[in-house]
Amino acid sequence: MSRRAARLAWLLALAAGCSRPVYLGTPVPAPCTARDVEGCLGWMMERDLAAVELGLYEDARLRGYVQSIVDRLTRGSRLASAPRVLIADQDETYATAGRRIVVARTTIEELGSEAELAGILAHELAHVEARHVMVSLFGRPPEDDPLVDRRDAEAVADERAVWLLERAGYAPAAMGRALRAVLEAEDPEHPPRAERIARAFALAGGRTGFEGREELLRHVAGMVVGRDPRLGRRVGDAWVVPALGLALDLDEDDAVRSAGEVLVLRRGDAKLVAYAIGAPWARELIAALDDREARALPLGRVTAGTVPAAVRKADDSPLGKLARAVRSTRPQPPAGTRVAILERPGGALVLELGGGDLPRLPLRAPSEAELLRTRPPRIVIERAAAAGTLADLEACPGRLLDDPARRVAAGDPIKCVDRVDR
């Protein structure tokens, strides 16, 4: 959401209440009708992850465990209630503007103890506590370099996280280890990686506390490792979307530029962009199409049409304007694009059609063999046969997910992957 749109939404929402409308197929909750813009934004973002991007990692047991850690950290904070935790199939962990903490599944994969996970969560909790995101969206523009202000906020969140860890009974040094595990490339919005890690260890001062390695590994056993291919993966001469039970056959002359969650395909003079979305968002896109034509196919109902240049009969209520600002960041075809949307149980496939006459697309249900090849690898827990470093023990050959320098005792748990074809 742009700062201008967000600030306009804030002012409009404060200026007037609104009735109880529907957003993405669900009646809005109380925060959206009680001028609680922050709470409403959080609910909208969560609804978008589930109903638009199919981006939530659905594991209630794991989410409950992560939520319990945030609850424990919150008791030592200045917050009256704990932020709600979401686990997402993406590469970024962040605090949202609506009292939510979105934890990347890939972040959890990289950590080695509950205390390390608590360190990452404490950092995001510190952002929520200080309302850094809300200030960024709705506060006055910074007089100085905004990147400097952002780096300062990140440094403050690191420092506060060490304090929150210790207050909750966790080992403060876990913060430094967590940063070392999850930070890879340098980011201009954050202090330098080495500086952050060194400062976290210095603030911890070698003080001890609860580590919880067994607890974390017990809860992550069975979790997907790496990219979850359910939204799209190239399998031989087909692009398979397991989440929708669809496969699209590719010709040998096709130019396939992307075979991940978005398929970009050139066939002769024609171009196709295909991606999966949630069913509620598909229904809203379909309702807005110009020149709609729908027909039933064996795989589902397909609707073709053109994306309008502007939304007709726009909802100009405060909530409607806030919803449009949020929706502007969602995956959707550009105005004027010809599209076909195939509705399936649990979601839909959007096909953006451009340039030339695209031949008939051989969409079909995937074979059992194709679905087997899209099955993602998962975490398994093995036990150390003896004491030593994981490297010296040659633990989980080719399948080790732990730090090879980690020292273990005989019988200690080791985090591995169930197969090597990652």
Say if 13 falls within a structural domain: no
CA dihedral 278, 284, 290, 294 (to 10 degrees): 60
Digit-coded pLDDT (tens) for 291-310: 999 999 999 999 999 999 86
Q: Which residues contact 388 (CB under 8 A, 6 or more apart)?
A: 407, 408
pLDDT value for 5: 42
- One domain, residues 112 and 186: yes
Average pLDDT, the chain: 86
Give the confidence band of 267 by pLDDT, cuts at 50, 70, 90.
confident
Digit-coded pLDDT (tens) for 126-164: 999 987 665 554 444 555 666 666 788 888 999 999 999
- With contact defined as beta carbons under 8 Å apart, do 119 and 158 qualify? no
pLDDT value for 422: 47
- One domain, residues 335 and 276: yes
pLDDT value for 319: 64
- One domain, residues 350 and 281: yes
What does the alpha-carbon distance between residue 252 and residue 16 come to, in Å, rounded to a whole number?
58
- One domain, residues 239 and 330: yes
What is residue 99's three-state secondary structure? coil
Q: Which residues contact 172 (CB under 8 A, 6 or more apart)?
A: 162, 165, 166, 203, 204, 205, 207, 209
- One domain, residues 268 and 316: yes
- One domain, residues 280 and 368: yes
Choose between 46 and 355: higher pLDDT: 46
- One domain, residues 277 and 412: no
Mean per-residue pLDDT for 344-365? Answer: 84
Mean per-residue pLDDT for 400-416? Answer: 94
pLDDT cut 70: percent of the chain above it? 84
What does the alpha-carbon distance between residue 319 and residue 37 come to, in Å, rounded to a whole number?
9
What is residue 11's three-state secondary structure? helix
- One domain, residues 192 and 135: yes
pLDDT value for 31: 84
Give the confidence band of 350 by pLDDT, cuts at 50, 70, 90.
very high
Number of domains making up the chain: 3
Mean per-residue pLDDT for 68-85? Answer: 96
**Which of 220, 254, 274 finishes a domain?**
220
Task: CATH number of the domain at 280, please.
Answer: 2.60.120
- One domain, residues 331 and 242: yes
Say if 384 falls within a structural domain: yes
Say if 290 falls within a structural domain: yes
**Which of 194, 220, 246 finishes a domain?**
220
Residue 124 has pLDDT above 70, yes or no: yes
pLDDT value for 21: 76
Mean per-residue pLDDT for 282-296? Answer: 93
The domain of 156 spans: 58-220
Say if 192 falls within a structural domain: yes
What is residue 414's three-state secondary structure? strand
Residue 348 has pLDDT above 50, yes or no: yes
- One domain, residues 387 and 356: no
**Which of 220, 247, 274 finishes a domain?**
220
pLDDT value for 346: 87
- One domain, residues 244 and 296: yes
